[in-house]
Amino acid sequence: MTTFIGYNTQGQERDFTLTDYQLIVRDLLNSFNIRQGELPGRPDVGSALLDMVFENQSPEVEAAIQNEIRRIIKLDPRLALKKLLVYPNENGILVQIEIDTVTGVSNAQLNILFDQRQQRAIAV
């Protein structure tokens, strides 16, 4: 039984419908790709992660990245964070997130690259 139904036009030519886990991942990536304060009248929506990509990778910046990722995941009631690892990458920051979802997907691992060149969060 499908619990969540949504639509996505990014990188798809035909079937724009997403359900359950695929929709949750797409929504999470959208949350990471919206810059903090970018939506008019909604300063709480979005993340500051894409601004942190250009910072020198110090322990303070890594802690700020982890805190921001935790904050974004807490905003989505469909997700529960189990594990979070942050790695510097030559093109940005690679984040490994282990999550449980309300759709029954447990311990799914997401690898997300915050790419400096494209200024986007991308599931890899």
Query: For residue 20, what pLDDT is reported?
Result: 63
DSSP 8-state code for residue 60: H
Find the distance separating the first CA and the last CA of the chain, reported in whole Å.
28
Query: What's the whole-model pTM score?
Result: 0.79
The domain in which residue 68 lies consists of 5-123
- pLDDT of 1 higher than 50: no
User: Which CATH number does the domain housing residue 47 bear?
Assistant: 3.10.450.40
Q: Does 109 or 21 have the greater pLDDT score?
A: 109
As for how many domains the chain has, the answer is 1
CA distances from 14 to 5, 39, 41, 93 (A): 16, 28, 33, 31
d(CA 94, CA 121): 9
Residues 57-111 have pLDDT tens digits of 888 989 999 999 999 999 888 889 999 999 888 878 899 999 888 777 777 888 8
